[in-house]
Amino acid sequence: METYVTKNQRQLRCGVTTGTCAAAAAKAAALKLLIGCSPVKLVLMTPKGIEVEAPVVFSGAGADYAEYFVVKDSGDDPDVTNNSEIHVRVEKVKATDGFDFCFRSESYPWLFLDGGDGIGRVTKAGLEQAAGFAAINKVPRKMIFDAVGEVCSAAGCRDRLIIRVSSPQGEELAKRTFNPRLGIEGGISILGTSGILEPMSEKAIVDTIEAEIRQRSVCGEKAILITPGNYGQAYIEKYLNIEMERSVKCSNYIGETLDLAVSCGIESVLLVGNVGKLVKLAAGIMNTHSRVADGRWEIFAAHAALCGAGTDIIRSISRCVNTEEMLRLLDGCGLREAVMESICVKLSEALERRSSGRSRFGAMLFSESYGFIGQTKNAQCILKELKR
């Protein structure tokens, strides 16, 4: 059941996300607790539609609990959490006192989900999870609830169960991630939007982008749509009514992608993405990976000041954990639209410098909380071209 992707004329083996590991371990623990079987391998269907076979390892059991773990296999991706253990303990509980910061499932209301040792805990507002909750993202939560819920249905069980995810190496591994900067303390995050971890290397990614753009140019396309990742593609399909397959995913390599579009003879490029990445372009930052540069609060603060914000607001922006929180702060003082308009002017200038007049670039920005929040002057014209 191994999955491979071809990048830069090489076959690279895909791995699995921490979310898939947790779902497999949770299902194994539930099978042991509720049915009494002792699995050694489980087959899971990932959100990407690819089946994976995960070896599961027994960790312990008692009358009211069972625990299994999965050793994370990152494939050919140089991932920090490769070979780490993702443990899940499923336990019967009579009372739910102290479960205020547990996740719940509408489909399985008797199930509770939380993080244990080595799983990060959110300490600041502005992330997908509220402060106090474990850093377990939405898609992995659903995978875990569905995995345990399936076993509950097979066993005819409606007992209250607490599902607790942990990682013995998680606290140490988290020091090598960006979790501390995001206000996630004490461990790693349980992540994944597709369940499959595709191998990444900078050269391989840029080569893949070039091949796709060149192919579109050869097929006669003069205008293309570019997005940094899955969130941007989902926005394109849902709100712009354009099929996701028509967009080129550029990851963090926005500058290289724009250069490739120019060199391949593309006349118009529309960049659509989350404000958290695209705001960096307003300062000329064309590689949006956080290890290259950040600058998000500085950009927001500078434009807020240009729009009349006082010192207290600027200080508050500097303490925000992400752009969603910055937008909420600006919205609260009536400056959000003015600041976004100011940012988009600078973003447009940065794109024009990059194109050197050889192509027309435009950008549309969206937010998880506010939806569409800004665009450059060329964006609507290029969007009409794409729709034609």
Structure confidence by residue, pLDDT tens digits, 168-185 = 999 999 998 878 867 889
Whole-angstrom distance, CA of residue 380 vs CA of residue 283: 22
Mean pLDDT of the chain: 91
Closest by Cα among 270, 120, 263 to 180? 120
For the ranges 88-97, 110-119, 143-152, 342-351, the lowest mean pLDDT is seen at: 88-97
Closest by Cα among 105, 142, 106 to 23? 142
Whether 247 and 233 have beta carbons less than 8 Å apart is answered as yes
Q: Which helix (H) or strand (E) segment is 115 a member of?
A: strand 111-115
For the cut 70, the answer to whether the pLDDT of residue 41 exceeds it is: yes
DSSP string across 125-147: TTSSSPTTSBSB-HHHHHHHHHH
Strand partners, 71: 85
**Structure token pair of residue 96:** 């739910």
* pLDDT grade for 199, boundaries at 50, 70 and 90: confident
Per-residue confidence (pLDDT) for residue 182, from 0 to 100: 72
For range 273-292, the mean pLDDT: 92
State the angle between helix axes of 296-306 and 323-332 in degrees (0 to 180), rounded to the nearest 10: 20
Per-residue confidence (pLDDT) for residue 280, from 0 to 100: 97
For the cut 80, the answer to whether the pLDDT of residue 208 exceeds it is: no
Whole-angstrom distance, CA of residue 209 vs CA of residue 222: 16
